[in-house]
Amino acid sequence: MSSLVHMYLKCNRIDDAQKLFDGMCDRDVIVWSAMIAGYSRLGNVDRAKEVFCEMRKEGVEPNLVSWNGMIAGFGNVGLYDEAVRLFHEMVSEGFLPDGSTVSCVLPGVGNLEDVLMGKQVHGYVIKLGLESDKYVVSALLDMYGRCGCAPEMSRVFDEIDQTEIGSLNAFLTGLSRNGLVDTALDVFKKFKAGELELNVVTWTSIIASCVQNGKDMEALELFRDMQADGVEPNAVTIPSLIPACGNISALTHGKEIHCFSLRKGIFDDVYVGSALIDMYANCGRIRLSQNCFDEMPFRNLVSWNSIMSGYAMHGKAKETIEMFHMMLQSGQKPDSITFTSVLSACTQNGLTEEGWHYFNSMSKEYDVKPKMEHYACMVTLLSRVGKLEEAYSIIKEMPFEPDACVWGALLSSCRVHHNLSLGEIAAEKLFVLEPDNPGNYILLSNIYASKGMWDEENRVRDMMKSKGLQKNPGCSWIEIGHRVHTLVSGDKSHPQMKEILEKSEKLSIEIKESGCLPMTKSVLQDVEEQDKEQILCGHSEKLAVVLGLINTSPGQPLQVIKNLRICDDCHAVIKVISRLEGREIFVRDTNRFHHFKEGVCSCADFCIYYMPPTVIPGGDLVKVRRTFCIISNSTNVAEVFGRKFAMTTSLITCKPSVHLSTETDYKEVGAESSEGGKEDIDNY
């Protein structure tokens, strides 16, 4: 009977094993322990605990295998506190842990980041002579890595037999978790040059390490080396690598990896599919993201969050909200990441009512407690539409201390709306929270500069200098063929810079002739107008776009990434370039995606020019709140956009300062959408 119970448990036929177990007259600790381990292995820790308690009630005392089964079960389902508690209880009853015990409890200790407890377990390892157990060593390395104890982790690795591949993999992962990617690469290269045969886990670990630490090009190179060495990537390698393509908008590489996943039959893996959704969205191809989503044989929460995040990144509030309700209809429950995407989409489109609705519904309807990022979204949403005082009230009423992200959202909007008083409050908070972040000083100095307060502006700049801080230079990337080019504002070291400047000069003349003048107000420096124009010409996103025009065939789309927010002047200029050159141009900045086509941007200039009117003559604020158009003298026509939800007959047009002057700042116009006009905007 006992052997049959073990057989059923090995086959995961737990119900059959339970029936046999219930019919046994003589049940020793071995068969009890087997049942406990069986339920634990299947994740049914509640039933495992019941069996454990029943065993003790019948007078059968647990052995080490029983305890190990319980500790492993709770650790496997993420109940790390309970796993550690059981370990303490086991030791208090006189049991000494073995290698299995240590290997089971250390992952829980690492996830709890309880380094003191970890060192106590390490003491047992030394006391019991388990330093040569490869599973114990890997667990120790993993624990120290999760606890942020890189020196202790390195000491453990230096003292072991370094011919064990599992220990190397754990060490590389630990270095990555602690941001020591350069050290990880050095260790990897050392062992690659040696006699130890690296497996797919090793390669995947170092690739993931590079991606997580911003070394995306290195990750792609390692992937090529991995294949050249004859190591077959698996369903873990691919989703670890795909984000590298999205991070630098390497669409060509991303498509190649997509094809690779199809050839190897791993596209159906839910995490591979979700990573591809995210990659295409990051590369500006949201339709391809939707195609990947539609083709997935099954979806989980990660898949839904990926597609919603993609739509939110592109400012598509309607689609984001539609996907949210489709997810609910499918039976999938939202989590905090879901609501971050929904609120972000509302933020990108200035949808304050919708934003409040979803924010308030989080805890009331879905039992999701708002976190810092959700409050940051609401602060950004209200600030962007000019409700700075309301945003400040949210900050003061938050149930926890606001972080730099929240104060940064307020300060950024104070810069846009020239609110000095709140800007100074936010800046003072940020100087404490992020004393070494130059961006906060730049934002405050820009507020002073916009008001002509040059003495105050210089004072803030002097504060930066005294701290040794420098403004992060504007940097843009563009993929041409299989190569990613980097352009830096003001830097002329690119080998094609002469051609770039010549093409820029020609475009500048055409752009001015079209009626779009340099937006010198964007340059908040006390210099002459001619110098301001020169500064604007050297912005990295413009240089990247021109480089793309030079090196690609007519009509080919261009994809640019920028490390900062796109400035007002560059936004206006790239709009005109898209029309003059007949190109689709995708620019991803720190806020969102901008899809330029035929002189129009998918953001409808909301992020650049939006100024909510206080009085709307003869209009309905609730309707026009979502809909507005920009009169653009660069195209000599009124660019009328549907703001995703409704096309009204009365729209507000706001005069952008970049263009030739109009008679009034706000003008009510009648707008009739041409056939298919709304679809053109919504399908960007």
Q: What is the pLDDT of residues 125-174, one digit of tens each?
A: 998 888 888 899 999 999 999 999 999 999 999 888 778 888 899 999 99
| 611 pLDDT tier (thresholds 50, 70, 90) | very low
CA–CA dist 362, 213 (Å, integer): 32
Least confident span in 140-149, 186-195, 356-365:
186-195
Least confident span in 190-194, 394-398, 669-673:
669-673
Q: Which residues of 634-663 are buried (b: 16+ CB within 10 A; e: fewer)?
A: bbeeebbbbbbbebbebbbbbbbebbeeee
Query: What integer pLDDT is reported at residue 349 of this predicted model?
Result: 86
CB hemisphere CA count around 488 (13 angstroms): 8
Q: What is the mean pLDDT of residues 303-328?
A: 94
| 8 pLDDT tier (thresholds 50, 70, 90) | low
Torsion of CA 411, 413, 415, 420, to 10 degrees: -70
| 2 pLDDT tier (thresholds 50, 70, 90) | low
Query: What integer pLDDT is reported at residue 222 of this predicted model?
Result: 93
Q: What is the mean pLDDT of residues 562-589?
A: 87
| 23 pLDDT tier (thresholds 50, 70, 90) | confident
Q: What is the mean pLDDT of residues 385-411?
A: 92
Whether the pLDDT of residue 621 is over 60: the answer is no
Q: What is the mean pLDDT of residues 404-419?
A: 90
Q: Are 471 and 461 in contact (CB under 8 A)?
A: no
Q: What are phi and psi of 387, to 5 degrees?
A: -90, 65
Query: What integer pLDDT is reported at residue 59 of this predicted model?
Result: 81
Query: What integer pLDDT is reported at residue 571 of this predicted model?
Result: 87
**pTM (2 decimals)?**
0.71
Region of 95 (left: φ > 0; alpha: ψ -120 to 50; beta: rest) is: beta
Q: What are phi and psi of 210, to 5 degrees?
A: -65, -45
Least confident span in 108-112, 212-216, 626-630:
626-630
Region of 578 (left: φ > 0; alpha: ψ -120 to 50; beta: rest) is: alpha
Query: What integer pLDDT is reported at residue 289 of this predicted model?
Result: 94
Q: Which residues contact 515 (CB under 8 A, 6 or more apart)?
A: 633, 634, 636, 659, 660
Percent of the chain with pLDDT over 90: 38
Relative orientation angle of helices 372-384 and 388-397, to the nearest 10 degrees: 160
Whether the pLDDT of residue 425 is over 50: the answer is yes
In this predicted model, which residue has the larger pLDDT, 667 or 250?
250
CA–CA dist 636, 610 (Å, integer): 20
Q: What is the helix (H) or strand (E) element at residue 476, kind and residue range?
A: strand 475-480
Q: What is the mean pLDDT of residues 229-246?
A: 90
CA–CA dist 270, 259 (Å, integer): 16
Radius of gyration of the chain (CA): 30
Q: Which two tokens stand for residue 366?
A: 């879905």
CA–CA dist 583, 575 (Å, integer): 10
Whether the pLDDT of residue 650 is over 60: the answer is no
The DSSP code for 659 is B
In this predicted model, which residue has the larger pLDDT, 522 or 588?
588
Query: What integer pLDDT is reported at residue 62 of this predicted model?
Result: 82
CA–CA dist 9, 249 (Å, integer): 49
* Domain coordinates in residue numbering, the chain: 395-472, 475-601, 606-682
